[in-house]
Amino acid sequence: MFIQKLPGNPVVYRFHSLFREFLLSTLKDCCSDEQTTLIHLRAAEYYMSHATYGRAAEHLTKCGNSASATDMVTKAGFNKFMIGETGQLKMWLDLLPEDIIMDNPILLLFKAQLMPNNRQPEMIDTLQKVLQLSLKDNNLVIYYGAASVLIYIFMCSNNMKGLLEMTESIPRQLENLSPELKNTLIILDIVRFIGEERFSEAAAQSESVIYALLPEDSQ
């Protein structure tokens, strides 16, 4: 009466939805807020250990621990995006409060990259917000990630004015750069040289690009 069998590999068993509702109502009547928070945290920990991140984020958000939910989505979201599981990432973002996303440059970058092409003006505004937040937090890796997406958008729409404005505002006081980030900076220099019609300098700079370090869609 109380257990549902979910076919799959492996087969999963869980409480029936009506029984779950009954248990939740009992939980509210019998447990303090602190106990309820602890139960949600234990459930989130279980789902995280089984890589069921959407359910984990749901429990973290319900217990009021939005900071933990944000941290989890931030760390796991990049890998999901890189392997194409964008539906999973979108579900995580939908579970988080909007004000938390708007104050987090990494989550905002995810949100912008998940927007459909017909919302390009909103995507550009969101990416520019990412640039502001990442500079404020001195998170230059995220800054260059957002800058690279913006430059791609401007190039596809032949917006040379936007490209030049984008590259002129890029900070340059950098130390201990990773090879991937150095590669990105070289590409940004190429874009700037082309925008300024300094083609020979762009060609010379292009010889420094390490092809294997480019994202697959940029190669």
What angle, rounded to 10 degrees, do the helices at 86-95 and 105-113 form? 130
Q: What's the full length of the chain, in residues? A: 219
What angle, rounded to 10 degrees, do the helices at 105-113 and 66-82 form? 40
Beta strands in the chain (DSSP E): 3-6, 12-15
pLDDT band at 166 (very low <50, low <70, confident <90, very high): confident
Is pLDDT larger for residue 32 or for residue 57? Answer: 32
Task: Supply the pLDDT for residue 200.
Answer: 95
Please tell me the distance from the alpha carbon of residue 191 to that of residue 187, in angstroms, as a whole number: 6
- Domain boundaries defined on the chain: 32-83
Task: Supply the pLDDT for residue 79.
Answer: 63
- The whole-number average pLDDT for the span 60-69 is 72
- The whole-number average pLDDT for the span 190-202 is 87
User: What DSSP element (H or E) covers 109?
Assistant: helix 105-113
6 beta partners: 12
pLDDT digits (tens, 9 = 90+) for 99-152: 878 888 888 888 888 888 788 888 889 998 998 888 887 787 788 778 878 877
